[in-house]
Structure 1
Amino acid sequence: MQERRVSEVIVDQLAAWGVEYIFGLPGTTCLGIVNAIRKHDKVQFIKVRHEEAAALMASAYAKLTGKVGVCVTIAGPGATNLITGLYDAKMDRAPVVALTGQVKLQYIGPGSFQEIDQDVLFNSFCSFNKTINSKEQTIELVTLALKHALVERGVSHLTIPNDVQKEALEARIEPLNGRIPDFRIVNTDLIERAVRLIDEAEHPVIIAGWGARSHGDTLLKLAERIKAPIITTYRAKGVVPEDHDLALGVLGDVGTPMARRFVNAADLLLVFGSSYSEKTNIPRKQSIQVDIDPMNLAKEFPIDLPILGECGVVLTRLLERVKERENQRLLEDVRKEKEKWYAQLEKEADGRAAPLRGPFIMKVLRETMDPMAIITVDVGDNSFWFGRNFVMKQQRLLMSGYLATMGFGLPAAIAAKLAVPDKQVVCITGDGGFAQVMGDFLTAVEHNLDIIVVILNNKELAMISMEQRMEGYPKFATELKNPNFAEYAISSGGVGFNVHKPDELKDALEDAIAAKKPAIVDVETDPKRF
């Protein structure tokens, strides 16, 4: 019987904790790990064209599934290329484990070929960062890396020197069961205080953040019981269907005016799983805040009733205790506000203008897309139009929240399609963001992932142009010279469609969906907002 190697034990341990995909690139100092993945029957290696994409895929996979996302690459330049994607995971609290190779132990220190101080590099942002210097450490350090990522919802990093990967090792694989605490906790006394505040409030409003993403149905039940409008942060867009009678859309920079109006008029805010980003700008007023992370509670200012607990548990307890109320006037006010807002969106969606306007593109997308699709949104003007003008049904959204890195959309779509292959996956991106990672469209082709990439191609870094105007600078260095992205898709082995006129968009989207291949819909888009 062939001896197992350290690299094989590492992959076995990852698999035992539910890891199904590892994103990365092979190279000299990680060949042992990559070979162990090749031989494993439960873990698939997803080869990328750039290490940043591997880290972004791991981050997106973790955000979507709640499982650990894993990426792997070589020492030196491979490790440095991971940083943007790993910072996205850190800032959006996604559990990710990064594995990097390293030169042989005997060469660490004097500055060998591709040797960098990876401990210092990763220390600044990782929850857990260690080097496996001896084979005896393997199981303990791998399980600790996984546990830190899951419990602290952050990034763990392990460096594995090339020679250590190849050492023979027989070790017992540790199961996940019994290693992660149950976070379904709540302080019952605080629930009773919350119930009193809710029952006494005349104009309560619910704000749902990313931390409440798994509890849309319960949020709606609470909203219906106490007759409270429900609003989300941008990252939580779609946690509840935005066409629900009590849903008022997104609060914040790209939100709806009706969301801000009702929040400002509220006498009690019930905030579930929000980190109080300055982009959301939740006002300082009487509030109940629920979060599993104690550092998020009252982070920006004092909160009347901060509750440390898991949002689903707290919501269930509140539903059992709060009084049901009727408020026909509120329902009528919400209905009128939504009618006005939908009329505004319809007015903005000019179906005659060419190049196509952002609001019109969002309208056609909303009419064409599967109501249960997964949507990945890149950073740029495309995200402005999506946040403001796309009305979510039961779709799920993935985005780069706090880091807001361009180039997130395509890798996230690839990760989402791997994670949930039976779901339609649509990436909404700009020409600037797509061009940063377009090489990995080939990854989608290689794995036959029928994602639909919709590029709002305005031949400009339009959001930056807007920022230049707002700050009094002349427009400079924001024009883009682009290839024909549809032809690029075809030459890569996918399908591609160019859209120059409004009446071409719906047919192009329907053809892209029907193709059942990786698709790009390249939409000539007006760079002006209004």
Structure 2
Amino acid sequence: MARTARTARTVARVIVDALAELGVRQVFGVVGDALNPLTDAIRTTEGVEWVGCRHEEVAAFAASAQSQLTGQLAVCMGTVGPGSVHLLNGLYDAAKSRTPVLAIAGQVPLAELGSDYFQEVDNDALFSDVAVFRATVTSPEQLPLLLETAVRNALGRRGVAVLSVPGDIGDQELPADRPARFSLTSPVTRPEQGAVQSAAALLGQAERVTLLVGRGARDVREPVLALADRLAAPMVLTLKAKEGYEGDNPFQVGQTGLIGNPAAASALDDADTLLLLGTDFPYRDWYPEGRTVIQVDTEPAHIGRRVPVTIGLVGDVGCTVRDLLAELSASPPPAEGSASPPPAERDRGHLEKAVKRFASWREGQARLAAPAHDEGLAGRVRSALDNREHGIRPESLAAAIDRHAADDAVFTSDTGMATVWLSRFVEMRGRRRLLGSYNLGSMANAMPHALGAQFLDRDRQVVAFCGDGGLSMLLGDLMTLRTYDLPTTLVVFDNRRLGMVKLEQEQSGLPEFGTVLDNPDFAAVATAMGLTGVRVTDPADLDDAVRTALATPGPVLLDVLTNPDEIAVPAKPTVEQGWGFAVAKFKEIIRSHGETSARD
């Protein structure tokens, strides 16, 4: 534990020394009066760095990113009233991602609590929904026990803990000098053996099994691949499972849902049995009906809440998969006349069909993303319909980043179309990592997530897929990247639109409304702030610009003007969606013609 020149064991000193003991390297926040004792303790503590952000939401997102990448506790701070309120969105991101974050919130002096004092907010009520634990320090005697309780709840329950510290408490001395202790081990649970045997029997009898693999299975890749091989099962991935299961995986067929592909959708539809591993994939419409469903999850509350489940196995995914493999290997051959063949002879047609269809879809996507696509006959025809101004295809931008980014890069993405292009064109091969607000679905997360990730390792490439709408929300924290000289690359998919909302409106038959963004030249803004700003408007310049941006030292913002009318076709496009889109486009043309006539 880092020691300092100060000998007084104040509330602030005990908290900060404990953070150092826990291995916390950065604390993100905005300074303020109630936090002064805490930030001063950080100032005099070796190994713990204060990162001053321009907005507390950025601080909370950055802490969430660090916790998700390391699995360890991360810390943010916000001062009295508005400062604490600003933490909320980033803390919800952490809570929905089930990752441990400690938020220290300033509070008005003790004597003023409940008096509607200047900036007073009831923090315990404010954080009641987002936090697994919340408390206000009202006496130095409560430490270190109250801090230990907060940290154990955050780590043990994989969530957010909030500790409020009134402005007149932080510099008070403790009556006894006892260091905080955080001994905590993570339990490993496994389902009841009879349930495992029943599940294995169903899997052994099934003719066509498909796996739906989620974040909860990310750290047990090899047993899951062995199970897919044993069952001859295609593997559909959730977005959060891309990180662990792409690259050298002969079973994976990509994602389903609105960002997915037809191969993944058909792999689910064609199956008679679905095995859900560590996923709470929320979109009910994308689960086929009438299938045998086996679900493995550590949380009992997750079992069956998205799709009716035949057998629920509550336990660690790794242990459960290994138990299933053991049972399947020990299973006797089926009775004579049974529809299910012996294990060694399981038909692989279902797997081969899905994998072949996925490969065909990827080839088609690669053609769409090719730099010279619009120059060919098919490209010229397509451009006449959806890219009359010959803007840069967002597919081409995402594919170029995939080509030139390092195999250990950390990628973050804003919610919306930036995530669609990342999911389809960036492969999580090698040691690549992936972060996004994939449970909360917040805008503006990509840049602050990247900021938190970059602080963990300044030598590792960090690339943020930023929507122009998302980046605009928290634009001020470009200065934080500059202040700390973080070598982060921000790639702005600058389509001058809230693209996902535009697509949702048009698929519903509504004309685009309220989605147009009057953007600045983001590269010029970045340059004015002291970053390297690069703007790309010509498709011919794209590949070199991406390569150069990723190789440039220091923070870089690459502003790429992309086609605003690009369409991301969902995995299972419906007639209603196609008709709605056609109607919307007709309305937009009529409206545009009317506006032109009025101007004339």
Q: Which residue of 2 aligns with 1:393?
A: 429
- How far is 1:287 from its partner? 1.7
Contact 1:69 1:96 in 2 (8 A): yes
Q: Which residue of 1 aligns with 2:469?
A: 432
- How far is 1:367 from its partner? 1.4
Structure 2: distance between partners of 1:317 and 1:494? 53
- How far is 1:110 from its partner? 1.4
Asked if 1:378 is matched to 2:429, the reply is no
Contact 1:205 1:230 in 2 (8 A): yes
- How far is 1:431 from its partner? 0.8
SS of equivalent to 1:238: helix
- How far is 1:210 from its partner? 1.6
Q: Which residue of 2 aligns with 1:271?
A: 276
Structure 1 residues 172-196: Cα deviation after superposition (integer angstroms, max 9, x where no partner): 223332x344234443333322322
Structure 1 residues 35-88: Cα deviation after superposition (integer angstroms, max 9, x where no partner): 111222232211111001011111122222211221101111101111111111
Asked if 1:125 is matched to 2:118, the reply is no
Q: Which residue of 2 aligns with 1:342?
A: 362
- How far is 1:242 from its partner? 5.1
Q: Which residue of 1 aligns with 2:522?
A: 485
Q: Structure 1 stretch 228-237 or stretch 257-266: which is displaced more? A: 228-237
The one of 288, 313, 317 equivalent to 2:319 is: 313
- How far is 1:350 from its partner? 5.1
Q: Which residue of 2 aligns with 1:157?
A: 162
Letter in structure 1 aligned against 2:487: D
Q: Which residue of 2 aligns with 1:19?
A: 24
Asked if 1:290 is matched to 2:310, the reply is no
Contact 1:356 1:524 in 2 (8 A): yes
Asked if 1:300 is matched to 2:336, the reply is no
Q: Which residue of 1 aligns with 2:556?
A: 519
Q: Which residue of 2 aligns with 1:464?
A: 501
Structure 1 residues 261-312: Cα deviation after superposition (integer angstroms, max 9, x where no partner): 0111112211111113017833342122111111111223441111111112
Structure 2: distance between partners of 1:186 and 1:50? 44
Q: Which residue of 2 aligns with 1:414?
A: 451
Letter in structure 2 aligned against 1:380: G
Asked if 1:507 is matched to 2:539, the reply is no
Structure 2: distance between partners of 1:299 and 1:483? 44
Q: Which residue of 2 aligns with 1:111?
A: 116
Q: Which residue of 2 aligns with 1:167?
A: 172
Structure 2: distance between partners of 1:48 and 1:280? 40
Q: Which residue of 2 aligns with 1:148?
A: 153
Structure 1 residues 188-228: Cα deviation after superposition (integer angstroms, max 9, x where no partner): 33332232222222211111112222223332232223321
Letter in structure 2 aligned against 1:347: R
Letter in structure 2 aligned against 1:287: V
Letter in structure 2 aligned against 1:241: E
Structure 1 residues 228-266: Cα deviation after superposition (integer angstroms, max 9, x where no partner): 111111222232015632110012111111001011111
The one of 178, 198, 221 equivalent to 1:193 is: 198
Percent of pairs with identical residues: 33
Letter in structure 2 aligned against 1:342: R
Q: Structure 1 stretch 130-139 or stretch 438-447: which is displaced more? A: 438-447
What does residue range 75-90 of structure 1 map to in structure 2 within 5 Å?
A: 75-90=80-95
Contact 2:266 2:354 in 1 (8 A): no
- How far is 1:117 from its partner? 1.7
Asked if 1:529 is matched to 2:566, the reply is yes
Letter in structure 2 aligned against 1:374: V
Count of residue pairs the alignment pairs up: 529
Q: Which residue of 1 aligns with 2:349?
A: 329
The one of 405, 426, 435 equivalent to 1:369 is: 405
Structure 1: distance between partners of 2:196 and 2:512? 53
In structure 2, do the counterparts of structure 1 residues 279 and 155 end up closer, same or farther at CA, with 3 Å as the change threshold? farther
Letter in structure 1 aligned against 2:403: E
What does residue range 26-45 of structure 1 map to in structure 2 within 5 Å?
A: 26-45=31-50
SS of equivalent to 1:163: coil
Structure 1: distance between partners of 2:528 and 2:252? 43
Contact 2:262 2:358 in 1 (8 A): no
Contact 2:233 2:351 in 1 (8 A): no
Q: Which residue of 2 aligns with 1:52?
A: 57
Structure 1: distance between partners of 2:496 and 2:549? 22
Structure 1: distance between partners of 2:366 and 2:547? 21
Contact 1:268 1:286 in 2 (8 A): yes
TM-score normalized by the length of structure 1: 0.94
Structure 2: distance between partners of 1:267 and 1:46? 52
Letter in structure 2 aligned against 1:451: T
Letter in structure 2 aligned against 1:487: A
In structure 2, do the counterparts of structure 1 residues 16 and 250 end up closer, same or farther at CA, with 3 Å as the change threshold? same
Structure 1: distance between partners of 2:519 and 2:262? 35
Structure 1: distance between partners of 2:125 and 2:78? 17
SS of equivalent to 1:133: coil
- How far is 1:459 from its partner? 1.3
Letter in structure 1 aligned against 2:517: L
- How far is 1:20 from its partner? 2.3
Asked if 1:452 is matched to 2:489, the reply is yes
Asked if 1:134 is matched to 2:154, the reply is no
Contact 1:217 1:240 in 2 (8 A): no
Structure 2: distance between partners of 1:470 and 1:90? 32
- How far is 1:414 from its partner? 1.1
In structure 2, do the counterparts of structure 1 residues 184 and 41 end up closer, same or farther at CA, with 3 Å as the change threshold? farther
Q: Which residue of 1 aligns with 2:513?
A: 476
SS of equivalent to 1:343: helix
- How far is 1:385 from its partner? 2.1
Letter in structure 2 aligned against 1:359: E
- How far is 1:508 from its partner? 1.4
Structure 1: distance between partners of 2:322 and 2:51? 39
SS of equivalent to 1:250: coil
Structure 1: distance between partners of 2:349 and 2:507? 40
Compare CA radii of gyration and give the structure with the larger one: 2
Q: Structure 1 stretch 129-138 or stretch 40-49: which is displaced more? A: 40-49
Contact 1:461 1:479 in 2 (8 A): yes
- How far is 1:24 from its partner? 0.5
Unaligned runs of 5+ in 2: 1-5, 330-342, 375-389, 568-600
Structure 2: distance between partners of 1:490 and 1:221? 50
Structure 1: distance between partners of 2:240 and 2:260? 11
Q: What CA RMSD, in Å, does the superposition of the two structures yield over aligned residues?
A: 2.1
What does residue range 176-215 of structure 1 map to in structure 2 within 5 Å?
A: 176-177=182-183, 179-215=184-220
